[in-house]
């Protein structure tokens, strides 16, 4: 079970631009094992569009998904900077500090910051 969970990428976000993101908790039904993942894309007009894509993918792998909140990501791959900010109207604000820790695992050489700013 641990291997399957490890196969799920921590982060899937667009390589550039400003877009919505959500923090999602994966859990095995009835299991103790859980982890949080970050998903974000410009293709999503609303935060729930991201969840509606992630949820069935994860259910196929045998996970229950819970959205812990959302916000926005400003990703500048040229300058190697990511800024996490804002909130989701539907899901509420994700804990951006948690999001940043997850992003740091993947974007190890980036400057990653967060704030509660709306813009």
Binding residues for substrate: 20
> CB neighbours of 56 closer than 8 A, spacing ≥ 6?
none
Which residues, in sequence order, are bridge partners of residue 112? 82
Which residues are designated catalytic?
47
Residues annotated within a binding site: 20
CA–CA–CA angle 43, 16, 36 (5° rounding): 70
């Amino acid at each position: 079970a641990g291997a399957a969970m490890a196969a799920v990428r921590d982060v899937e976000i667009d390589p550039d631009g400003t877009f919505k993101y959500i923090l999602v908790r994966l859990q095995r039904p009835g299991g103790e094992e859980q982890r949080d993942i970050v998903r974000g894309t410009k293709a999503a007009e609303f935060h729930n569009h991201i969840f509606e894509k992630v949820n069935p993918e994860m259910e196929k792998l045998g996970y229950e998904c819970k959205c812990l909140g959302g916000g926005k990501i400003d990703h500048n791959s040229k300058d190697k900077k990511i800024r996490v900010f804002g909130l989701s109207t539907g899901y509420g604000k994700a804990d951006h500090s948690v999001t940043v820790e997850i992003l740091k695992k993947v974007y190890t050489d980036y400057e990653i910051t967060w704030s509660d700013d709306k813009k």
